Chains A and B, each alone.
Chain A
Amino acid sequence: MVRKITGRIPLLEFENAWKIYKMGQINVPALKGISLKIYKGDFVAIIGQSGCGKSTLMNLAGCLDLPTKGKVFLKSHDISTLPESDLATMRGQTIGFIFQQYNLIPNMTAFENVMLPLEFLEYDDDDAAERTRKIMKLVSLEDKMHHLPSQLSGGQQQRVSIARCLASDPEIIFADEPTGALDSSTGIEILETLKRLWKEEGKTIIMVTHDLKLAKYAHTVIELKDGEIVNTQHKKK
């Protein structure tokens, strides 16, 4: 358990969640009965060595995948029972993703990439453009709006990806090894941005990393090993 205060409803809750992959005849469990609660305003780092199940955990938390057994609740909705389109809307509205490889659409400009989630949410064109410009300014990329991702540096691309994740003003931000492809100073810059979003905007941040130095930015560190939570540390906010 991350934190237990009776009466508070967790934003994200795992209830004995299993994820089992079938490899031919053999069942390989990636997550073995995870239970945890994450509340609004938490900054959680999930650490562990590669293959420990941290990406699987994040996929379930981000509604990208469904648990084999057990339940995952996002804002009190059981994600296994939500229809596909509601799940998609949930991903668009409530969740923002920051990936290690940025995952920008290569044929779209930075501006278009950032606006894309708003298009999926059927925002009015003018509102979407207005909001996109504002967010591009927030990540100091207002002069790179019409560049393609390939024309930007790694740090700039990651800032575009942060801007995209902020476009729909999500409650939770998932960051999967956000600095994995960046040099250390750019990495720190990105981390500072995340920290600012957490502190100033009140976003809930869940970060997957294998880098213990980065994990220090979080106030809760969950350590995974072989698909199980082996350690949970809290820090004072």
Chain B
Amino acid sequence: MKLSKCFKHAFNMVIHSKLRSWLTIIGIVIGVASVIAITSLGAGMQQSLESQMSGLGSDLLTITPGYSKGGSMFRNRGGDSGSSTATEEEILLDRTDVQALKGISDIAFIETEVGGKVDVSFLGKMGSVSLTGVDQKVWSDVTTAVIAEGRLLDSADQNVVVIGGNLASSFFDQPLGINKMFTIEGSAFRVVGVLDDTSTRIYMPIQMTYQLLEDKDTDIYDSIILKVKDEEMLDETILKIEKKLKISRHVTDKDRDFSISSSKQMMETRMEMMGSVSLFLTAIAAVSLIVGAVGIANTMFTSVLEKTKEIGIMKAIGAKNRDILSIFLFNAALIGLVGGLIGVLCGVGVSSMMPMLMGSMPMSRGGSITLVTLNSVMLALGVSVAVGIIAGFIPAYNGSKLKPVDALRYE
């Protein structure tokens, strides 16, 4: 029998056992839909991480006081809550560190920052936000912040600030725009720039920050931001900085009291974690696909049993084993294919609804948090058809091998 005819008969079989076929199809739909939804979530997060990474500047290094041997993500922020090294003395970054760093030729820019919480008020509305004091002479060379309106800080600035997008637009009752005055810790400041982000952070010249933040001493830094000349040489540069700072701070590997983190490293760590999480979730989703496959196998066994007499009739009128095998395999593959198609649709539907369910997550800032790739769709369809054929093979083979006389006698 021609394969096209086998396909036609398989199609008729699916049509004529509607309920059972559909129940089996649902099993595959659930498996495929969950695989699609989860892989698209993974791909979306990966993509938004990548876009964040490019925005963060992969040529930047941050030096912070304190050191722990744990991963870079969980590093103690030094200064604030004491360091993890067992010393009585508070660990600080100061001018001597900056001097030491200036001797390294691979560094293009050195910028110092200090931060804290401050109370702000504008037109009677009060609140508390984060303040970062930056070295305005080099801030514009180092920062990855993008200005939406106005300008960044420059070296002559004193009582002016650059503010985050949300502080400008929605934090106070009225929008806080360019050249508006508002008070920070009782002193008046003028807004010269609004950033293109969703933060409520305030950036101001570091010297002004020391005046506002009582617990910060002049020329003591919370962090030192470095921009390297050659991104390719990042790892070597980190080693040079480590060596230099160890000498200047009189520490060894054992009592090291500073950390160097690169946004690249941090991103890589996060990507790795994200990758393994999505792999794990995909594996769970794959389990439901396997359950679906068992469903197909079950349906096919039942179907062969139910059609035993028909197999006998077909053999009596000239069907070869190969014809019977093809018909049942096509039947199983069709169930897989239909399940796969509906599953892909459901999966795409679920993943497009995901941003609504997880709208408040910070991940969503970089755009859509899910990404359905053509690859994953093709893979899901291919896998579901393959699953159908594999699951259907043994029942179909058994059916094809039935002796005509036995099959005919079956009631």
Contact = CB atoms under 8 A, between A and B. Distances in A.
Interface of A: 59, 62, 64-65, 84-85, 88-89, 91-93, 96-97, 103-105, 107-108, 116-117, 119-122, 164-165, 168
Contacts of B313: 103-105
18 contacts: A64-B403, A64-B404, A85-B320, A88-B323, A89-B320, A91-B318, A92-B318, A92-B319, A97-B316, A97-B317, A103-B309, A103-B313, A103-B408, A116-B317, A120-B317, A121-B318, A122-B1, A168-B318
B7 to A, nearest CB: 12
A105 B310 contact: yes
A64 B318 contact: no
A96 B313 CA distance: 11
Contacts of A62: 316
Contacts, number: 69
A91 B315 CA distance: 8
Contacts of A59: 405
A11 to B, nearest CB: 18
B404 A65 contact: yes
Contacts of B408: 64, 103
Interface residues on B, range: 20 to 34
Contact of A91 (B2, B12, B316): B316
Interface in B290-318: 309-310, 312-318
A119 B127 CA distance: 82
A198 to B, nearest CB: 20
B2 A122 contact: yes
A120 B321 CA distance: 11
Nearest to B12: A107
Nearest to B8: A119
A18 B1 CA distance: 33
Interface of B: 1-2, 5, 12-13, 16, 309-310, 312-323, 403-405, 408
User: Across chains A and B, which 4 residue pairs bring their CB atoms closest together, nearest first?
Assistant: A92-B318, A120-B318, A65-B405, A88-B320
Nearest to B17: A107
Nearest to B323: A120
B252 to A, nearest CB: 82
A98 to B, nearest CB: 11
B403 A107 contact: no
Nearest to B406: A65
Contact of A119 (B2, B310, B315): B2
Contact of A164 (B5, B12, B315, B317): B317
Contacts of A96: 317
Contact of B319 (A97, A120, A164, A165): A120
B188 to A, nearest CB: 87
